[in-house]
Structures are given as C-alpha cells and as structure tokens.
Amino acid sequence: MICYLYEAPKYFFFASDLPQLLYYSHFPAIVISLVVGFFVLLNGPKKLTNRLLFLITVLFSLWVLLSLISWTNTSASLISFIWPFFGVIKTILTILCVYFIYTFLNKGEDVSSAVKTVFLLLLAPVLIFAPTDLSIKGFDLVNCDAFAYEVMYFKYYYTTISYIAIFWIFTLLIKAYKKADGDFKKQIILMGTGMELFLFMFVTFIFIVTYYTNIGVLADSRLEMYGLFGQVAFMVILSILIVKFKTFQTSLISAKALVIALLLLIASQLTFADNASSVVLTILTLLLTTVTGLFLIKSVEKEIKQKSELQKITTQLELANRRLKEVDQLKSEFVSIASHQLRSPLTAIRGYASMVLEESYGKIPDKARIAIKRIEDSSKLMALGIEDYLNVSRIESGNMKYVLSDFNLKNETEKICDDLRTEAMEQGLVLIFRTDLKSKGIVNADIGKTVQIVQNLIQNSIKYTVKGSIKVLVRDDVVRKKIHVDIEDTGIGMSSETLEKIFQKFERASNANSVNVSGTGLGLYVAIKMAEAMNGDISAHSEGDGKGSRFTFTLNLAM
C-alpha cells in the first residue's frame, strides 16, 4: 500500500520532495563508517576490538540505510516493517559501544561472562517486544510514518539504555585514564570524546526530534539528520587514532590509504549534491579533512624519521658507552696493579731514609742530611699520591669498604687540628679550631674515612694558602640533624669555573701549580665520594681568585 500524500518513488532511493540535507547526512555517514570499519577489520581480522568496531560501523550504517529508506520510500508495509528496527539497532549499537570500550581499554581482552550477561539482560526486553504491538501500534498512512503509534514505554526503555551506556562508558574511561600513562592517556581522551560525542548526538537528537514530531510540535523529523554528524566526527577521530597513534596497528602506507579513501569519498559527494548548500558543506568537509589528513601524515612521517634517527644514535651511544666502560675497567685495573707495585719499593725507600736520618747506620754529614730529608719528604708525597690512585680505583670498582660506628666528630677534628698545627706553623700559618655545638657532635660513620676527609680538606687549605690563617669550625643544626665542619682559609681562592670542577677526577685549578706543585687532583674527588657514601656531602665556596676559600663537610648527627 502506498502512502496517500506521496507519489510512488521513481527510483528506490530518490523520491521527490525530500529534505536537501538528507543526501549530505546519510550517504557520507554510511560510506565513511563502512570504509573505516572495513579498514580496521582488515588490519586485524582476529582481534576482538577490531571486530567490535567493525560491527558498530555496520550496525550504524544499517540504521542510516533504514532511515534513508523510510525517508525516501512510500510503501507503507515496507516502512512499518522497518520501524521497530530503529530501536533494536540503536540498543544493540550502544551496548556494543560499551563492549568495544571495555576491550579497547583492556588492550583487546574480552569482558567477563558476568558483564556479557548484563549486556544480554539489558537487551532482552527490546528484542522480545520489538516484533509485538508493544513497540508500535499502527501506521500513519497519510504522513507515511509511525511516530504517533510508537509505544512510549518501549521508546523510553531503549533511550534510557542508551544513556546508561553513555554513562557507563564515561566511568570506564575516567577509571582507565587515571591509571594510564603517556600516549595511552591521549588515546583515551580521543577515543572517549569521539565515542561519547557520537552516541550523545545520535541518541539525543533522534529522541528529542522524534518526540517533538510525535507530539506535533515539529512537522517532520528532518532535524534528526544532524545527529548523524557525530558519527562522521567519530570516524575522523578514529582515523587520527589509527594514523597517529597506530591504535589498530596499521602501517603508514595503509594509514595514508585510509586518508586518501576518505578524501575521495567526500569528494564523490559532489557528484550527488544537486543543491548549493550540499555543495558548500561537502567542499568545507573536504577542505577540513584534507588539512587534517595532510597534517596527520606529515606528523607521523616526521615522528618515524626522528625515531629511526634516535635509534641510530642510541645504538652508537650504547657501543661507545660499552667501550668506555671496558677502557675504564682496564684503567682501574692498571692503576691498582701499578700502585701496589709502586707502594712496596716506596715503603722501603721511606723506611731506610728515616733510619739513615735517625743515624741507625752511623753518623751522617749535614749536607747529606738535607738530601736524605728531601728523599724522605718526596717519598711521603709520592705515597700519598699512590694512596689517592688506590682510593679512586677502589671507589670505581665498588671495593671501598665502610665500617660504621658512633664517634665524636668534634673530638676527632680537634685532634687533627692539633696534629696539623705544626705543619701550618712551618708555613707561617695560624690554624684555629672552634666549635659551636648544641649537640655532643656524635656521628655514625667510618671513622678512618672521616678523619681522612677532614685531614685532606685542612691539608688543602695549608697547601693553597700563602699567608694568613685557617679556621676550622665544627657546628651543628639539631633541627635538621646535621653536623658541619667548615674549613676556611685566606688562600688563593677559586674562580667560579674552578669551583664547578674541583670535585671531578684529575681537576686542578690553573693557579694551583703556581702555589703548590704537588697534587694529583684526586683528593677532593675521593673525599666527596667517601662523604656521599656515608650519606654526607662536601661543598666549596669562594668569592674568587685570591679571596680565600671555605669548604664545608657535612654528616648526619646520630642523636
């Protein structure tokens, strides 16, 4: 039976007197959906996420196709047969969207059978009542639609399910977003926006428009066509996900193919569009998609190039790093062996020199005494240097052992000052020891290493000070549980460039030699490494060359 108001259509899809927007909204929605759907399916036919997305695009296209038929056809029996399918398809579609989002967020894993049961329970009433007159009660032969005969409970039910689905998806996305990191966060935002936009527009527009048509406020439901644009937006977002984030694991070539196919599709709209507004809309969409597509492909190409360059550099770096480590290891071994070999003859030289000086082998003339004293002094310096090398190789090979115990840092520092005062005085320097303590000054550290550090810092001050004084101050900060030993001198000072490097291996200031030639540039390196190993630190301060220096050695108070 043909509806009264209309003539029989000349062609199946092209009846006269149709809203112009129809061709713009329905055709691209179907074709773009199917292209993206097939594309995703072909890229992973066995993956659940891909299959679900494909099913969504097919169901959506089916809905649009049925809508197109109901707009263009005038056969009452055909349209009244189609009518209940709108609700059925929409409900299956929204539930599939929830299913899809679940698997997308769980990286392809299927949902539990409990969740599947909930899906089925929600769907069951729609499937059961759709074929009965509890979904539609009749047909309007004049207007060729069934709006006035839709059973509202049925319609409210499936619309509510759609909103439940939208809310469900939203909570899933928020939960996953909080746990996700980096790129996946961005993918969740894109996928979430696309999916929610699509569902919300699809459900809301169609519900409101058909409701108002039903109660007679709107003459027909042509406004529902705007609801379909959400799907096109979703498909564009999906292509961004596919091309940029490789969400469905595509290669660049197939991503390019997808963008080109979308462009061709939209362009082919121009051949159908027989009115100005459709032409303008199509051209606008075409321009927008071209710009987005080009931008996407460019950015992906750039990313791929950068990645491969980075990969190359990383491999080179890894190689260089490995070689460096090998060389460093060899060097440490060499230093260790060489130092041990040097130490024994040196001990013999020192021992004999001091025995000769003590005249254990008989009287020595004064001239010879001066020479032998030099031998003793130089071999002492050499022994110290060798000790530095040995310490470096121990630190670098991780063989430095620390024996921790509680001891009084103030007392130890005072003893060191007493020992070194003569050495300072020989150079015409005053060595002053002071304290400013609220605690007893107890630390838990390796006593030998601690003494070595303080000694080294004071000896450096003696070495690098020509005249004036060296002040040693032990102070504490009971709130922060720290104890500090400040060693302040009136020596050659340090420029800011020197300050930056003195704690590195073999680094000496350019003016260091002018004052004191003996030195390896290892003392501070060894000292800071040992301090750090005992949870302490050393810092250096100077106003500049010639303006004196202040070194601060810090340890934790053991209270």
Write down the least CB distance from residue 525 to ligand ADP, Å: 6
Write down the least CB distance from residue 497 to ligand ADP, Å: 11
Contact 159, 208 (CB under 8 A): no
Q: What is the rounded CA–CA span in Å between residue 50 and residue 41?
A: 5
For ligand ADP, the closer of residues 242 and 420 by Cβ is 420
For ligand ADP, the closer of residues 382 and 442 by Cβ is 382
Length of the chain in residues, anyone?
559
For position 230 contacting ligand ADP by CB under 6 A, the verdict is no
For position 522 contacting ligand ADP by CB under 6 A, the verdict is yes
Write down the least CB distance from residue 443 to ligand ADP, Å: 22
Query: CA-based angle 95:39:201, to the nearest 5?
Result: 40
Q: What is the rounded CA–CA span in Å between residue 241 and residue 292?
A: 12
Q: Residue 88 has which token pair?
A: 């059925």
- The interface with ligand ADP within residues 73-92 (CB under 6 A) comprises none
For ligand ADP, the closer of residues 50 and 498 by Cβ is 498
**DSSP H or E stretch at residue 482:** strand 482-489
For ligand ADP, the closer of residues 72 and 549 by Cβ is 549
- Alpha carbons within 13 angstroms on the beta-carbon side of residue 71 total 24
- The interface with ligand ADP within residues 531-550 (CB under 6 A) comprises 549
What φ, ψ does residue 546 adopt, rounded to 5°?
Answer: 80, 0
Which of 375, 386, 387 has its CA nearest to residue 350? 375
Contact 3, 141 (CB under 8 A): yes
For 108: left if phi > 0, alpha if psi spans -120 to 50, otherwise beta; the answer is left
Write down the least CB distance from residue 389 to ligand ADP, Å: 11
Q: Which stretch binds ligand ADP (CB under 6 A): 222-230, 310-318, 472-480, 484-492?
A: 484-492
Per-position x/- string for 485-514, each x denoting binding to ligand ADP as judged by CB under 6 A, each - no binding: ----x-xxxx---x---x-----xx--x--
Contact 404, 447 (CB under 8 A): no
Q: Residue 520 has which token pair?
A: 């390896």
Write down the least CB distance from residue 510 to ligand ADP, Å: 8
Contact 376, 350 (CB under 8 A): yes
Size of the site for ligand ADP (CB under 6 A): 21
For ligand ADP, the closer of residues 263 and 451 by Cβ is 451
Query: CA-based angle 415:420:424, to the nearest 5?
Result: 145
For position 454 contacting ligand ADP by CB under 6 A, the verdict is no
- The interface with ligand ADP within residues 458-477 (CB under 6 A) comprises 460-461, 464
For position 524 contacting ligand ADP by CB under 6 A, the verdict is yes
Write down the least CB distance from residue 493 to ligand ADP, Å: 6
Q: What is the rounded CA–CA span in Å between residue 534 and residue 528?
A: 10
Write down the least CB distance from residue 421 to ligand ADP, Å: 17
- The interface with ligand ADP within residues 351-370 (CB under 6 A) comprises none
For position 235 contacting ligand ADP by CB under 6 A, the verdict is no
Interface positions with ligand ADP (CB under 6 A): 460-461, 464, 489, 491-494, 498, 502, 508-509, 512, 519-525, 549
